[in-house]
Structure 1
Amino acid sequence: MLDQVLVQRADQEAAQGHHAAALELYARAWDSRHDEVADKLLDLVEDWEDVEAALEILQKTADGGVAGAYEALAVLLLELDEPEEALAALDAAGRAGREVALWTAAVLADEMGDRERGEEWYRRAIATGDTEALNDFGVFLSEDPDRIEEAEEVLLLAVERGDLMALGNLGRMHLEGDEPERALPWLVRGLDAGVRSVLVPMAEAEQLLGRIEDARSHLNDALADGTEGARLAWANFCAEHGTREEQATAEAQYRRALAEEEPGAHFDFALYLADHERFDEAVVEYQAAAAEGETNAWLNLALIHEDRKDRRTAEECYRSGIEAGDLQALLAYAEFLRQWGRRADIADLLDQAAELGADEEETAELRRLAGSN
């Protein structure tokens, strides 16, 4: 249980600018990465601007017998984009008796891209009885298109064992699979069970099914709750399905989503601007989206520059999209090369296409464009 006395003492030290003392107290108060201490700790390090000193204090506190400090160290290392070092800190935490199997799985799978080892650790977490492990493992499985049925079985088992968050993830899984009719009943069950975070995906499913008034109502509820992603979802709703008055507010809603730093806001606002033929502004937003890791932004940038007859910039954007792992950018780039008589360059894309998961039909199309049998 979180030691609020230590947290209060740490807050006082932080307020007085005593960063080192505050950091050690936060590390000693550490209970879980899901509680308030993690945010307080990261805010403190950002304010202090002495990362090396912070790492040294956390390491020293952990080595001094405060096992939770290893987890605090892992949080900071992940923030610094040092997943291997974070994994070592979690290993030390585990050896000191902390339950970190599920977190280790997430670092391996999400931060290091090692899905095989990640799965091994998810299964370890399930075996230890971690109450969140089945749900998280189900989400992990759902990211593989070939394991959707397995993911559903795991998430259903999580529901049976009382993890209501799995209801929302079942709905999201089917929604991402372009099956809103299968998604909606799970999302409804989630909402009925009190899982308010399903309001945004529920509204998306309802829009796809033509239930516009239901979507409007649920998005308004999500906005009132302050649900993550609600502002951007509302902006998209206003732009696509809103009344005349709501459509007139769409741009302001996008800008609010940007101000609130909602994930995906740059990309969706760029789509809105492009739809309204405000291409100079759209380019700026696509560039911002690409900088945040939105791979599809490169393809849209390439298409804008191609329409503007700027072949050099268009080609740079296509290549950036391919480097970011976007198969659609590669396929569009192949068509671009065909138009300019560069069939030999298309042949050079075949190996990359295979690495990006091109299926037989897509590979055959690339071979056709390259002029090979």
Structure 2
Amino acid sequence: MVWLNEAQHYFDLSRDIAEQVAASFRALLADRQTQPVLVLGTLWNEYATTYTALPSPISKDLYPQVRELLAGRLLMVPERFDAPALREARILAIEGDRQLSHALKYSKEGLLAQYLAGAPALLERYRMASPPVRALIQCVMDARRFGVGSNVPVDFISHAVEDYLTDGEYAALSGDWLAESFREAGRSVHGNLAPLTTIRHRKSSPPDGGTPEARVRLADSLEQFGRVDRSPYCPPQSFWSAACELLESAEVLAKLAEAAIDRHRLYWARRLTERVVERRVDASVLTELAHAWVESDPGEAERLFLKSTELGDAGAMGSLGYRCEERGEWERAKEWFRRGAESGDGFSACELGRIYSELGDLESSERFYRRAIELGETESLGGLARVLVEKGGDIDEALTLLQRSICTMVRQTARVSMVSLEDDAGIQRSGVTPWSSRGESAGSARRIDEVGDVGDCAKFLEAVTAAANDGDAYGMRCLYYLLRSTDEVAADEFLASAARGGNSFAVVELARELKSRGDLTRAESLYRQSIGSGDNKSLVALAGLMEEAKNFEEAESLYWQAIDSGEIYAAHRLSRLKEERGDRDGAEEVALLAADAGHGAAARALSEVRVRRGEDGGLWLYGLNPDGTPSSNI
């Protein structure tokens, strides 16, 4: 048995190491000679969403091994103990479990696990902390949510913390305030738990480099609280300055640069990017950072892609080919795709297969499509099948390829649609079988992927139908999208039946279908039903319907509700709505709110709208300062 407490600490190591860890666990689980084997871990929802999300066609796949390790194996744990679980806990407490007895006595609303983890006491300490202690904790919260390692350097914190304090708070500090604040933040509140824990190294096993650097670790419950509580805020200038000057890891600096880009803090993004370029860095880090720059500064993105190709990154070659093709530079695009395919990039090989197919060179097209499939690029399955048919080649192979393509596309679409694991848990609870069947659902999901990889559509249909009947979210989505690819009437009937049963996925999907067909009244009714059941993602869709109906006041109210519930992308639409209605100040206010929370696209979009009107030479042309004022630095 292997126990991975807070599994993100293992999967958020440097990418190569994290992928090796995941690959090793996959091999262990597949090795019949070592069975039985149990690998059990805990993982917060947001990490699970990140690890299981499919990459876009032009971005590097960051977590392929982690994603496959987790596929079909995620079990949602309810946030609160329900009545039956509490009854079982009370029985254990009566039988002598003193910790459980204490937790049952003092925890509220079924939040038993949180109490046992010391979360309430830690949260109370944070909320009641003096300004300098609270500033320290907030600084570490920001460092963790932006990708600094779990053990945060004390030297960095000491320089980054100052601007978390107001002028009045800073003036009132004692001479030894920093050391006193670290001591106070390290004082235990519940057993051995403290907001910040000093990391100690044994003399017998010093860290690489000799003398250990002082570091602290934020309590897990405060880290997760901070990811939500601090999400609307951009860190102050001292944070970015300290990061540029004191942090050394190229991967960490790249993550911070991406966070600055997301918040339209372009001056700091450029400084951090230069720190990355100056260091010895894995090419994949540069490629990922290049993708982050594409919308804000295409020229900077291309510069980074080129640097990455110099280090041999095949994915960057494919990305350059894609960008050249977008600009109509066909020969340059083909050359980059050729170099990418030769270096092992499946996307590049697939694109060459498509290009040669369009040119009528079916032999070359087949060669590159087959190369792409060898490299794991499943987008090529359908393309190769079409080429074989056009050539009059092996029809049986073409049919097998098409079936594999259908099974792959259905599964990809289903996974992409599963953007919220909390929604998935709700879907399973409202399915045919009770929540207690979730263990069987994991087995069903594995069966779906096994037969999907083979491409046997009959067995695939059988597997997804069985999973859907078990109330499995993944199975229901796969069945719906499979039906839509073959029989739209059957797909509609399945969706309507599931929606009548209260399935949240079916309700939302049916509302989208009705909207696309112009039946806005029924779509509105279904969106309101979904919102009533707690699906906040439907707020944005309903707001869009209200815009179409010219009910702008309700649309704005719904957008604000969505923003308050954490759907920050709603701010982008609200900013646009305010600009269109002539509320320029309101549009800027909402765009700034979105930028602070990491959705800088709203600020870019508003700036572009005004540029097209010939106004201002561009709003926030050089981005924003950390405090939200326009930056004058390039």
TM-score by length of 2: 0.31
Q: Which has the larger radius of gyration?
A: 2
